């Protein structure tokens, strides 16, 4: 990773019940100060005790959606990182609860690139960039017409396009 990363010296909380995932994230984000938690209670204590530049949450095994609510209420840009809950429903719930991005664990080696988008976007949602980068991936996983099947995604994309043109 280059010394000029937008992530340099950022404080990041990563929550996942799989220690190997936490280690991989820590290696990918070696330019950051990384706090790690493997369970809901520890993660909640971290969220209530510290300030984070970014929070990365697994969904399954750590009650990620409840942690997302807490992280968002504290004003922390939060990214969902999941394997087992990779579905249009989880993506929609993440958006509705205030996550700024949603990444498949399969893309963990690209994590720093996605997080740089979050930092450079000043913690605001980066859905437009995410869909540009991962649209094909999501279509392979969810089916080619996954966005058309759900009115939420149609309206969400229309809203994104409108915001981009403002």
Domain ranges of the chain: 11-165
Q: Per residue in 74-95, pLDDT tens?
A: 999 999 999 888 899 999 999 9
CA atoms within 13 A on the CB side of 51: 1
Q: Residue 157: its pLDDT value, please?
A: 86
More confident residue, 2 or 112: 112
Cβ burial of 162 (10 Å; 0-12, 13-18, 19+) is exposed
Q: Is residue 53 pLDDT above 80, yes or no? A: yes
Residues facing residue 111 across a β-bridge: none
Q: Per residue in 32-45, pLDDT tens?
A: 999 999 999 999 99
Please work out, in degrees rounded to the nearest 5, the angle formed at the alpha carbon of residue 122 by the alpha carbons of 116 and 128: 70
For 11-165, CATH gives 3.40.50.2300
The alpha-carbon radius of gyration of the chain (Å, integer) is: 15
Residues 6+ apart with CB under 8 A from 155: none
Q: Residue 158: its pLDDT value, please?
A: 87
The residue to which tokens 């980068």 are assigned:
133
**Would you place residue 2 in the very low, low, confident or very high pLDDT band (cuts 50, 70, 90)?**
very low
Give the global pTM: 0.93
11-20, 50-59, 90-99, 143-152 — which is least confidently predicted? 143-152
Torsion, Cα 16 70 77 60, to 10 degrees, reads: 30
């Amino acid at each position: 990773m280059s010394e000029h990363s937008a992530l340099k010296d950022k404080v990041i909380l990563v929550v996942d019940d799989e220690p190997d995932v936490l280690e991989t994230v820590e290696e990918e984000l070696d330019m950051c100060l990384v706090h790690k938690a493997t369970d809901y209670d520890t993660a909640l204590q971290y969220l209530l005790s510290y300030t984070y530049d970014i929070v990365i949450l697994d969904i399954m095994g750590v009650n990620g959606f409840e942690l997302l609510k807490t992280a968002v209420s504290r004003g922390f840009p939060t990214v969902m990182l999941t394997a087992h809950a990779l579905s249009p429903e989880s993506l929609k719930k993440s958006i509705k609860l205030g996550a700024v991005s949603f990444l498949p664990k399969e893309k963990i080696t690209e994590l720093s690139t996605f997080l740089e988008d979050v930092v450079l976007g000043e913690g605001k949602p980066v859905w437009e960039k995410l869909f540009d980068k991962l649209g094909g991936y999501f279509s392979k996983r969810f089916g080619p017409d996954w966005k058309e099947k759900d009115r939420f995604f149609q309206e969400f994309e229309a809203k994104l396009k409108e915001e981009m043109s403002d």
